[in-house]
Amino acid sequence: MEKTFDEIIKEINAGLTGDYKKDLKFLEEKCREYKDHEMGKEIVRACGRLMYDIIPEDKRAELAKAMEEDRNADRAIIDEIRFNIFKKEYDKALKMLEEYEKKISGIDFYEDDKLSEYFQFDEFMQEILYRYYNKPTKDIREAQGVPYCEIYMIYGSLLVELKRLEEARAMLKKGLRWNPLNFDMTMEYIETFKMEGNIDEAFKRTVDAFKIAIHTAQIGRCYRNLGYIFAEKKLYPEAVACYIMGDQFDKDAKQTQAELYYIQQVTGKTFNPSMKDFEEYSKKYGFPIGADNDVIGLAYNYGKRFLEDKEYEGAKYCLGIAYELTEDEEIKKVLDTIPQ
């Protein structure tokens, strides 16, 4: 009977001696031995993690230095792409993006396998939400070193600017594969539907975006999107209500007053929707009032759990999100008790 993955890894671990040179050679042999196994990719990756764990600190420092040099080289390329976009030298930027995207799409080190999924979450709350919404059965691992999300966001946004909307969606989808909860990339994806006049699709996706909005500015942006969509449908009272609500969540947004002025000019009316009006619109059209309850609940419960375990940084982070989204004084009291 063929050994299972767990049995093989247990056997490999048992073969380690503590002499890192011998153990590295042993692990390399095991990689070759199992490369054609049905779990070959998973076994080789597990051996790679073991190799990293057993190498001495000075060797790790050398590896870290080499990786830092790679990151600096990537940063130089991305900075040059951004500078070309700033100068409106779009052809040059697109050529660089095409070449760089081809390079990173050919890296298979972070392909999902039978045991692991690889992502680039920007912050821990995104991983919490991904686990809650998707119930993954595989290990969640970080795809380190390769700036997938950043490059696909730049690429997609430039294509949006150039109104090459199908191509833009293709690139943004590639980026969202690495972080399906990346809010800015999600909104840029929605922008493509707004630009082509597919307002119903833009509305549906904006309502869905509330489920990944973990900061008040993001909720404000969702409401501004709804305001735009309602204005396009000539539903001006609803549009004004959403713009005003968006302003409550994102007081730094500069475009709200301009949008409200535009509606006043178009209609010749000044709308003053009440909270009751807003609640009726929310019920009628199916969009939420404020932050998503699941987001708030998960942030609060994880924060309390971290606090119970005396993991204070995690507690401050999660409870900080819960308070930001609710301004609940009881949560503030709990936050104030956490040791600095």
Cα 13 from Cα 100, distance rounded (Å): 38
- The CA-CA-CA angle for residues 35, 37, 41, to 5°, reads 55
Q: What is the pLDDT of residue 145?
A: 82
Task: Say which residue the tokens 């191509």 belong to.
Answer: 167
Q: What is the pLDDT of residues 227-251, one digit of tens each?
A: 999 999 999 999 999 999 999 999 7
CB 285 within 8 A of CB 229: no
Percent of residues, the chain, with pLDDT higher than 90:
69
Q: Which of the listed ranges 44-53, 258-267, 319-328 does the model predict with the highest average pLDDT?
A: 319-328
Q: What is the pTM of this model?
A: 0.85
> What does the block give as tokens for 121?
């979450």
pLDDT at 22 over 90: no
Q: What is the pLDDT of residues 115-164, one digit of tens each?
A: 899 999 999 999 999 999 999 999 999 998 889 999 999 999 999 999 99
Q: What is the pLDDT of residue 63?
A: 72
pLDDT at 40 over 90: no
Q: What is the pLDDT of residues 66-111, one digit of tens each?
A: 778 888 888 999 999 999 999 999 999 999 999 999 988 877 778 8
CB 220 within 8 A of CB 250: yes
Q: What 3-state DSSP class applies to 140?
A: strand
Q: Residue 306 — very low, low, confident or very high, per pLDDT cuts 50/70/90?
A: very high
Q: How many CB atoms lie within 10 A of CB 168?
A: 23
Percent of residues, the chain, with pLDDT higher than 70:
100
- The CA-CA-CA angle for residues 59, 111, 65, to 5°, reads 20
Q: Residue 1 — very low, low, confident or very high, per pLDDT cuts 50/70/90?
A: low
> What does the block give as tokens for 310?
């005396």
Domain boundaries, the chain: 5-55, 67-130+140-178, 197-285, 293-337
Q: Tell me, what amino acid is at 249?
A: F
Q: Which of the listed ranges 21-30, 264-273, 283-292 does the model predict with the highest average pLDDT?
A: 283-292
